[in-house]
């Protein structure tokens, strides 16, 4: 249960950053939600394929809920993949934000 709580807290932190700077979900909610859903689904399918191939194997832990959404696929994995996708998009859009801001500042400095 602790791992799920940590993942939810991390998702909340990403949402706070996103809300403050309007980087992803708060800038374009429908498109961003679609990207998150597709990205998370893609990685879940990847995990299922890896489980079927015997690459991934779930081990019981007292830190997890024990809820399985598929054979060898714990609930926490879906939240981790959602966090991974959201974090990646926050980092990407944040980098673009900084890049564009630096370009505007540079152009403003050249004009004065």
As a whole number, mean pLDDT of residues 17-35 equals 97
As a whole number, mean pLDDT of residues 50-66 equals 93
| Per-residue pLDDT tens digits for 28-37 | 999 999 999 9
- Do 61 and 3 meet the contact criterion of CB atoms below 8 Å apart? yes
- Indicate if the pLDDT at residue 103 is higher than 90: no
What are the two backbone dihedrals, phi and then psi, of residue 81, each rounded to the nearest 5 degrees?
-65, -40
- Indicate if the pLDDT at residue 21 is higher than 90: yes
As a whole number, mean pLDDT of residues 64-91 equals 96
Residues 6+ apart with CB under 8 A from 60: 66
What are the two backbone dihedrals, phi and then psi, of residue 35, each rounded to the nearest 5 degrees?
-60, -45
Model confidence, pTM:
0.91
As a whole number, mean pLDDT of residues 45-70 equals 94
**What does the alpha-carbon distance between residue 76 and residue 8 come to, in Å, rounded to a whole number?**
10
- Indicate if the pLDDT at residue 112 is higher than 70: no
């Amino acid at each position: 249960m602790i791992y799920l709580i940590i993942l939810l807290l991390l998702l909340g932190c990403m949402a706070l950053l996103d809300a403050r700077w309007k980087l992803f979900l708060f800038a374009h909610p429908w498109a961003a939600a679609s990207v998150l859903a597709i990205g998370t689904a893609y990685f879940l399918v990847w995990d299922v394929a890896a489980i079927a191939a015997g690459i991934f194997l779930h081990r019981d832990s007292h830190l997890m809920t024990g809820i399985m959404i598929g054979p060898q696929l714990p609930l926490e994995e879906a939240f981790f993949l959602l966090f991974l996708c959201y974090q990646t998009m926050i980092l990407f859009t944040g980098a673009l934000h900084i890049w564009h801001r630096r370009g505007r500042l540079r152009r403003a400095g050249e004009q004065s």
